[in-house]
Amino acid sequence: MAPSPSGTPAPPPSVNPRPIAWSAPAIVDGLQGCSSVVLAVDETGGDHLASDCGDNPSEIRYASSTDGTHWTTTTFMAPTNRLEQEPLLAFDGSTLYLAYSRLAPEEGGCGADGLADVGVWYRTRSLPAGEWSSPQQIGSTRDHLQAFRVSGSVIHATVANEKDGKTWYEIVAGGATHRYELPGAAGSTALRVGDDGRARIAFEGAKGIVFGTFNGGGFKTGLIPGSTGGFDPTLALAPGNTAELLWSRAYHGIGCAEPGPQPEDGTYFATNAGGTWATHKLSGAVGATSLIVDPATGELHALIIDGRIIDEFDKRAGAAWRRTRLSTTGWVYSPVIRQDPTTGGLVLAYVSQVGSDAPTEIAVMNKG
């Protein structure tokens, strides 16, 4: 068996021999033509989805359900000559936050998409039946939202600023905003808030995936061993602030001379549960990922997509990873897995497209 990048052998995941317990995919009405989806489950078990939809895409749609079957959908129309994209959801007790980036169309040039970042905005509503607030802006002009969390009425976010080219972590509390640069950050960031109220952030650096803990005035950071060439990290925190991470490894540069697949390509997992980082390759697939940890049992649940395939990986304490291949139709994008805190069951949402000429749809599956 080949050693993992950290030097520690890791057994490959085995196909789960048990019958698949996931429900069949159910399409959510009102979310056709959407290009991404995020999912959150509130403390009473209610499901909440947000997607960017329409041309470009141009608008945010939100759907909620109390039973996972019947959905109520709301469309937020962007202001004139503006587009709103890439929504994120977060809870603070019974308050639901919906955050997103606002952009302005402009004349595109060589390599430009014709969209200029205007800033980051958010709305709130009180659950279960409160009305949505008017949008409020946070951060600086030209910010683009990457990650968003709320803890104890404090907003935590990471943004990439189009004007200065830097990536920032910001805290919004009591009407005041504080920004801290993430030096050397490239690409996307992953953000979680620990049970001590402090942020943990993973991001792509020049030499691999960097993990940082906020210390009140900046970040204490370190490179994760075995993460050379890593990008697009996904982060979960177990009780006690143990970090669990997924990231992809493959060529992701710019230009036409893209090299062929390499043996090291794939999706990797790392944890600092033992006090030091342990890293190994989880799958040879390179695609979007999602990761959660059951706070009661410590069991990990991960998703990796590869074209038309969704693989669910789960790992119990002291056991090897198990893989379950989910039954889907068409191409799949933007997978996200969450846990219902009232039952311990799992909820999965993703974008589905049966054919290149078919409209995209949002599908939801349940397990347990």
Give the model's pLDDT for residue 14.
Answer: 47
The dihedral formed by the CA atoms of 288, 276, 205 and 228, expressed in degrees to the nearest 10: -70
Q: For residue 105, name the pLDDT band (cuts at 50, 70, 90).
A: confident
Range in 104-108, 115-119, 165-169, 183-187 the model is least confident about = 104-108
Q: 298 vs 256, which has greater pLDDT?
A: 298
Give the model's pLDDT for residue 16.
Answer: 43
Give the model's pLDDT for residue 147.
Answer: 98
What's the chain look like in SS3? CCECCCCCECCCCEECCCCCCCCCCEECCCCCCECCCEEEECCCCCEEEEEEECCCCCEEEEEEECCCCCCEEEEECCCCCCEEEEEEEEEECCEEEEEEEEEEECCCCCCCCCEEEEEEEEEEEECCCCCCCCCEEECCCCEEEEEEEEECCEEEEEEEECCCCCEEEEEEECCEEEEEECCCCEEEEEEEECCCCCEEEEEEECCEEEEEEECCCCEEEEECCCCCCEEEEEEEEECCCEEEEEEEECCCCCCCCCCCCCCCCEEEEEECCCCCCEEEEEECCCCCEEEEECCCCCCEEEEEEECCEEEEEEECCCCCCEEEEECCCCEEEEEEEEECCCCCCEEEEEEEECCCCCCCEEEEEEEC
Give the model's pLDDT for residue 257.
Answer: 53
Give the model's pLDDT for residue 254.
Answer: 55
Q: 103, 85 in Cβ contact below 8 A? A: yes
Q: 189 vs 77, which has greater pLDDT?
A: 189
Dump pLDDT digits (tens) for 14-60: 444 444 589 999 999 999 999 999 999 999 999 999 999 988 778 99
Both tokens assigned to 11: 């057994």
Range in 6-15, 53-62, 339-348 the model is least confident about = 6-15
Give the model's pLDDT for residue 112.
Answer: 43
Q: Is the pLDDT score of 258 beyond 70?
A: no
Q: Is the pLDDT score of 7 beyond 70?
A: no
Amino acid at 48: H
Residues listed for the chain: 368
Dump pLDDT digits (tens) for 301-338: 999 999 899 999 999 988 999 999 997 888 999 999 99
Give 28: exposed, middle or buried? Use CB within 10 Å, 0-12, 13-18, 19+: buried
Q: Is the pTM of this model over 0.85?
A: yes
Q: 313, 307 in Cβ contact below 8 A? A: no
Question: Do β-strands 322-326 and 14-15 pair in parallel, antiparallel, or remain unpaired?
Answer: parallel
Q: Is the pLDDT score of 245 beyond 90?
A: yes
Q: Which of 238, 229, 240 is nearest to 204 (CA)?
A: 229
Q: For residue 5, name the pLDDT band (cuts at 50, 70, 90).
A: very low
CA distance 7 to 224: 13
Alpha-carbon distances, residue 13 vs 5, 274, 283, 321, 325 (angstroms) = 16, 20, 8, 5, 12
Q: Which of 30, 35, 75, 26 is nearest to 334 (CA)?
A: 35
Give the model's pLDDT for residue 191.
Answer: 98
Q: For residue 116, name the pLDDT band (cuts at 50, 70, 90).
A: confident
Dump pLDDT digits (tens) for 183-233: 999 999 999 999 999 999 999 999 999 999 999 999 999 999 999 999 999
Range in 176-190, 240-254, 286-300 the model is least confident about = 240-254
> CA torsion sign, 297 to 303 to 309 to 315?
negative
What average pLDDT score do residues 150-156 get? 96
